[in-house]
Chain A
Amino acid sequence: MFGVFCASVFGVVALNAMTAAEAVEARDIEARIVANERQLSRLVAEVAALEEPARIRTLAEESGMIVAPTTRFLPVQRPLPADAGFAAAFDVRASTSVPAAAEPVPGGSLMRE
């Protein structure tokens, strides 16, 4: 009888200790989550500040770059070699379906000068 009692007490104490240990670990994980979230917020703000267009422009000019006088997009009038490669890779009859001198395609078929 006494043995059962002792075993019960020991079991309860052991379970309680294990629960406490798990709880401490859970707290530790929560604290790490909070710290990581805090760091993420700081990094997001830092990246946004680093990407700021005025800052990039200033740095570029300090590095000797100049603003391009004009930016233009060139309409593509015929398929490019890369288009043919793409067509071949995907078994598309590029040579027959794409005319040699296609009309300029707005939007997607532009190259920046």
Chain B
Amino acid sequence: MTRRGARADATPVRPIGRHNASRVAVRRIRLSLLVYLMVMAVSVAQLVSIQVVNADEYAERGARQRERVIELPATRGRILDRQGDVLATSVDSATVYADPRRFRPTVDANGKRVPPAADAHEVATRLAPLVGRDRQQLVAKLREDRHFVYLGRQLDWDTGQQIRQLELDGIGVLTEPRRVYPGSGLAAQVVGFTDIDSVGLQGIEQIHNEQLRGNAGTLVLERTPAGLDIASGMRQVIPSTPGRDVVLTIDRDIQHAAEAAASKAMIDAQARAVSVVVLDVDSFDVLAMASTPGFDPNDRREADRANWRNRAVTDVFEPGSSQKALTIAAAIEEGLIAPTTQFSVADRITVSTDEFTELSPRPTLQMSVEEIMERSSNVGTILIAQELGEERLDRYLRAFGYGSRTALGFPGESAGLLRPHEQWWGTSLPTIAIGHGVAVTLMQLAAAYGTLANDGVAHEPRLLRGTVGSDGVVAGVEPRGEGERVVSAQTAQAVRSMLVRAVEGEHATGSRARVEGYSVGGKTGTARKVNASSAGYSDQHMATFVGFAPADNPRIVVAVMVDEPTPIYGGLVAAPVFSEVMEVALTVLRVAPDRSDATLDAMFSRVRNLETATSQRTVGAG
């Protein structure tokens, strides 16, 4: 018997009616509706969460997935000379890189070996002549256990284009700025150079790196999941700010003349090094600052690092006799002597424990101060210095710029060496008076003579004329101040006249510094070099010449230093360099000659005479 049968026996079975069936259905529908509503509630809650509560976050995440941020490197500013000629600039170059993973076999998810996508030997064979590297070297590079290797940096743009066209698997080409110096070695120690990432390391490149480098910008693009840019998508550009152009006071033509003359002198005198400084008297602008031997900043791999330094501001030397003009200027300014004051000058003098002598023995002579300068008399200058005294000599030399760095701010610039007069000893006064026991840079010496040429007013030498932004507006040029008066205009004029005698006089030591058509004033200097390894002096010498032209109204100062020349004398090796450079500088600046008899009329009459003579000869011959 079935259970249903038993129940049927006990109570009558209630049949399932239509009413009950509909109740079940309603219950099921309600349940489904509840589930549906719950799902909907979750969906709505999620929707509200995404669209309202966390809308910004999701929008940002979405944007991040599409966005591609590209850095826009700033163009480094150029370095220009005073005329706007380019001394340093940047050009786009091609940098070639590889992804070595493409040249290695890999293993897939199933443990199956997958051969390399590209053949290292084949790629290396095709790349080697273009990147200028050995094929085996390239193969080794391509097989390095890295994700990224450089194969060649800062190659020519055209080379990069050729490599792009090869479409080699695993090889890419980037655009990178490269610093170039069109003048090769011209003003190399002044301009300096950058590293491969265009960061200034030497010279102006280092000093003005902040102004030159500019600020990078960014470009934000939208891209597809496949990495393609969406042409109509969002595009946000924060442009880079290019670096400012730096305009120097250097004149390219004068700089070239100075370097050419220095190189020639170095060979002729078998010297170790030669430096030349050319200074504009009105502005104290540095028109040229040459040091040889030099180097080519475009390719400095083989260059001797010692030649990177700007010797005109880093190297110090005893000025020797060129300093006598300053000693005499101080004494005249103090009213102790006049140009015509007479001294009885022997050929030797003993001060404290030391004896100071003239260059060659001679009888005692009666000399004026002018003659003392013309003959470059050591004894005469010492006699004048003894009247001046230690404290005043020290004060004047410092006022002329000794013992302190110039405002050029060159890396490694020396302040020279001038001990405070309190630390001088018995022989310091006579020694320093004739330019020994004191050390200066060539720039300091040029500036000191610039002060004499500028009627006794000292200014700081200037190398930066200004900076120019992309708007073309020149900035950063501070007007020259009043300067510091060191000696009166009369004293400066008197010393200049004496210095003209030192070049043009009968006993002049600097006669080789003459420039045809111009009056020239200046002074030779010859000093022994201090022994680097022990106390005292070595057998080597430094020869100098520093002077100005035209003498009556000086426009230019030129200072020359020759390190370890043969012969040793400044009048023989440095003065000719002065003459050569000064002549070019006067021509470039179009300075009128003040000692020239030649006039246009004279030239015309000469031509007329020639024509007359020629026609007469022709008639005679006929």
Interface set of A (CB-CB < 8 Å, partner B): 16, 19-20, 23-24, 27, 38, 41-42, 44-49, 51-54, 57, 70-78, 80, 104, 106-107, 110-111, 113
Contact = CB atoms under 8 A, between A and B. Distances in A.
A45 B184 CA distance: 11
B599 A41 contact: no
A44 B603 CA distance: 41
Interface residues of B, number: 36
Interface string B20-36: 00000000000000000
B260 interface: yes
A75 B90 contact: no
B220 to A, nearest CB: 14
B182 A70 contact: no
Interface in B56-114: 75, 85-87, 89-92
* 4 nearest A-B pairs in the assembled complex, by CB-CB distance: A48-B182, A48-B86, A53-B256, A49-B182
Contact of A72 (B85, B92, B182, B596): B596
Contacts of A24: 231
Given A53-B256, A110-B590, A75 B600 contact: yes
Nearest to A106: B592
B168 interface: no
Contacts of A80: 600
Given A48-B182, A54-B256, A113 B232 contact: no
A19 B256 contact: no
B186 interface: yes
A104 B597 CA distance: 12
B232 A104 contact: no
B516 interface: yes
A78 B601 contact: yes
Contact of A48 (B89, B583, B590, B598): B89
Nearest to B515: A70
B86 A71 contact: no
A54 B182 contact: no
A47 B256 CA distance: 17
Given A41-B90, A113-B603, A73 B592 contact: yes
Contact of B252 (A53, A77, A111): A53
Interface string B580-599: 00010001001011001011
A52 B592 contact: no
Contacts of A72: 516-517, 593, 596, 598
A106 B599 CA distance: 12
Report whether over half of chain B's contact residues are helix, strand or loop; otherwise say mixed: mixed
Nearest to B583: A71
B119 interface: no
Nearest to A105: B592
B517 A70 contact: yes
A107 B180 contact: no
A52 B296 CA distance: 14
Given A70-B517, A71-B587, A73-B593, A20 B600 contact: no
B172 interface: no
20 contacts: A38-B91, A41-B75, A44-B89, A47-B86, A48-B85, A48-B183, A51-B85, A51-B182, A53-B252, A72-B598, A73-B593, A73-B596, A74-B602, A75-B592, A75-B600, A76-B599, A76-B600, A77-B600, A107-B590, A113-B603
Contacts of A113: 598, 603
Contacts of B256: 53-54
Contacts of A48: 85-87, 89, 182-183
Contacts of B596: 72-75
A72 B180 CA distance: 36
Contacts of B516: 70, 72
A73 B590 contact: yes
Contact of B182 (A23, A45, A74, A106): A45
A62 to B, nearest CB: 16
